[in-house]
């Protein structure tokens, strides 16, 4: 390497606006970073460099100082200046103050608590009772493959281009027909196809909520809703989730706070599995109509019933047009489809569609085409009857295992549908501790704290019973029971970071 030649090739000029020392330092930095000057190369002494480039010695001293500060060279006393080993330093990249550039963000105390305590191993061996996810073994993949086989269901090339933000029109027609069988009578233009109901929720929050607006949620409730609402700066009022809706408290909130909306999961609630009674639904609609309260009805689980059909949806009872209904294929088919829908009055759909357009133009066409086939050919009904009978067996298996292994340490409900059993722990062990210790023996679930806005409850856990077969469910509960029954077991194993969202 002819160092004199490399150095002489540097372009340094007094007529340039940048000071000479900076031009020299940047020129050398570029040669070091592109490895023209290799690590360990001895650079010319300052005086020699000054002579070579016809600049002052102060210029070369300042240039070397700056390079040293950036970690690109090191000075060995009595020996000289050498190119540093870049792999040993991370200072070669200019540092960006990213945090100062981001918009202000609401940081929930929950997110850090959750990161620490819900972190569970996601290895193949883990028995996951945590994520609300259907069993992948039940995904109807053959039907999907057939749907995509173009000789069976020919698609127009236009089907692969951009489509209206509101969604694939044939799917909206099929959904309108499907939902009318469920008592929700809406025209296709009262539908918005979204990328999962989580996106529907985000769009609703974006369209309705300004910082400091009041909203009402059940407590506990779906974590994704808490996070979206908190991120918007809304002030959250809570209605205890119980077998009877507290209509007096709700009316009190309506009078005192004029909330923008009520978010509710009336059927097989996440996380409690509760069902709002028909009478409560009717009274809620009467009260909401009187105050013109917007109700956001999140309804992902109502088709997954294991005893009898749940009461009619709030949307089907809606007398004043104020209910925004959301549902999704994530729980009935599978979450990777990322397809859900919102049914609401047309002005609401128009506004949500505007928000969605800013975000992603429209949801994925292929999923929508596949799902339309599911509805048109009535595969969905077939699939639902199958999963209902399978999930019922799994619910029963988990209930029996809880009765056998955990009865002395917890109370739990027996849900009539949905995905979850909500357990209240009676033993002195904290759910944080229980979560850690269960993770150490390969079982994961969600501690109840995740579903509260104030983060104070600590004696509940949510167990999902649909993802694994009966034997694994039983084994998972047996391990939880062993932790609860042992006074001495103590876990100090570190937790791995969770790879899945807590849903």
Ligand X SMILES: Cc1ncc(COP(=O)(O)O)c(C=O)c1O
* Binding region for ligand X (CB under 6 A): 132, 196-198, 222, 224, 265, 270, 298, 300, 328, 330, 335, 340, 503
Q: Which is closer to ligand X, CB of 64 or CB of 465?
A: 465
CB of 466 to ligand X, least distance (A): 11
Q: Which is closer to ligand X, CB of 186 or CB of 342?
A: 342
CB of 346 to ligand X, least distance (A): 23
CB of 373 to ligand X, least distance (A): 19
Q: Which is closer to ligand X, CB of 121 or CB of 335?
A: 335
Cβ–Cβ < 8 Å for 116, 439? no
Q: Which is closer to ligand X, CB of 131 or CB of 254?
A: 131
Q: Which is closer to ligand X, CB of 450 or CB of 484?
A: 450
CB of 327 to ligand X, least distance (A): 8
- Residue 294, strand partner residues: 261
Nearest to 7 by CA among 62, 44, 46: 44
Which residue of the chain is nearest ligand X when measured via CB? 196
Cβ–Cβ < 8 Å for 327, 341? yes
Beta-carbon count within 10 A of 96 CB: 8
CB of 443 to ligand X, least distance (A): 20
Q: Which is closer to ligand X, CB of 196 or CB of 311?
A: 196
Q: List Cα–Cα distances, 322 to 222, 291, 429, in angstroms.
A: 21, 10, 44
Rg (CA), the chain: 30
Residue 209 φ/ψ region, left for φ over 0, alpha for ψ in the -120 to 50 degree band, beta for the rest: beta
Q: Which is closer to ligand X, CB of 262 or CB of 406?
A: 262
Which run of H or E residues covers position 287?
Answer: helix 278-291
Beta-carbon count within 10 A of 194 CB: 29
Q: List Cα–Cα distances, 295 to 34, 159, 276, 452, in angstroms.
A: 60, 34, 14, 20
CB of 502 to ligand X, least distance (A): 9
Q: Which is closer to ligand X, CB of 196 or CB of 481?
A: 196
Question: Alpha-carbon distance 393 to 262, whole Å?
Answer: 34
Question: Alpha-carbon distance 454 to 236, whole Å?
Answer: 10
Question: Alpha-carbon distance 195 to 197, whole Å?
Answer: 7
CB of 199 to ligand X, least distance (A): 7
CB of 365 to ligand X, least distance (A): 17
Q: Which is closer to ligand X, CB of 191 or CB of 222?
A: 222
Interhelix angle 379-405/470-485, nearest 10 degrees: 30
CB of 351 to ligand X, least distance (A): 20
Nearest to 25 by CA among 383, 58, 284: 58
């Amino acid at each position: 390497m002819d160092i004199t030649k490399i150095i002489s090739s540097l372009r340094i000029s007094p007529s340039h606006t940048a000071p000479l020392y900076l031009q020299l330092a940047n020129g050398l930095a570029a040669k070091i970073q592109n490895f023209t000057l290799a690590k360990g190369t001895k650079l010319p002494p300052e005086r020699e460099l000054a002579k070579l480039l016809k600049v002052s010695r102060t210029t070369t001293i300042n240039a070397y100082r700056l390079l040293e500060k950036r970690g690109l060279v090191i000075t060995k006393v009595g020996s000289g200046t050498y190119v540093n080993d870049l792999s040993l330093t991370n200072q070669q990249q200019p540092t960006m103050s990213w945090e100062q550039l981001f918009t202000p963000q609401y940081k929930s105390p929950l997110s850090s608590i959750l990161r620490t305590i819900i972190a569970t191993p996601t290895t193949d061996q883990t028995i996951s009772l945590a994520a609300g996810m259907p069993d992948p073994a039940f995904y109807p993949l053959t039907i999907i493959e057939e749907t995509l086989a173009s000789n069976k269901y020919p698609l127009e090339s236009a089907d692969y281009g951009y489509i209206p933000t509101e969604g694939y029109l044939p799917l909206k027609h099929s959904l309108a027909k499907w939902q009318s069988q469920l008592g929700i009578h809406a025209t296709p233009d009262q539908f918005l196809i979204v990328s999962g109901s989580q996106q529907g929720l985000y769009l609703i929050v974006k369209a309705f909520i300004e910082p400091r607006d009041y909203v009402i949620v059940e407590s506990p409730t779906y974590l994704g809703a808490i996070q979206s609402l908190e991120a918007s700066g809304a002030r959250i009022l809570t209605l205890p989730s119980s077998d009877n809706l507290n209509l007096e408290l709700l009316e009190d909130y309506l009078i005192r706070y004029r909330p923008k909306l009520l978010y509710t999961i009336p059927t097989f609630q996440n996380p409690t599995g509760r069902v709002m009674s028909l009478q409560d639904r009717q009274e809620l609609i009467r009260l909401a109509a009187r105050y013109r309260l917007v109700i956001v009805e999140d309804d992902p689980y109502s088709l997954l019933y294991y005893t009898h059909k749940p009461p009619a949806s709030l949307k089907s009872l809606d007398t004043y047009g104020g209910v925004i209904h959301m549902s999704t294929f994530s729980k009935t088919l599978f979450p990777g489809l990322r397809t859900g829908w919102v049914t609401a009055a047309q002005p609401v759909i128009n506004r949500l569609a505007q928000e969605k357009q800013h975000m992603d133009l429209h949801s994925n066409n292929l999923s929508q085409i596949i799902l339309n086939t599911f509805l048109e050919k009535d595969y969905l009904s077939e699939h639902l009857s199958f999963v209902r009978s399978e999930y019922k067996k799994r619910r029963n298996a988990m209930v029996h295992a809880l009765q056998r292994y955990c009865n002395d340490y917890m109370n739990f409900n027996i849900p009539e549908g949905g995905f979850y059993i909500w357990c209240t722990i009676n033993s002195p062990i904290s759910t944080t501790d229980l979560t850690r210790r269960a993770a150490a023996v390969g079982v994961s679930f969600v501690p109840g704290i995740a579903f509260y806005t104030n983060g104070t409850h600590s004696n509940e856990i949510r167990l999902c019973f649909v993802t694994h077969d009966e034997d694994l469910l039983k084994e998972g509960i047996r391990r939880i029971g062993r932790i609860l029954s042992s006074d001495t077991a103590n876990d100090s194993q570190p937790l791995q970071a969770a790879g899945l969202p807590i849903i």
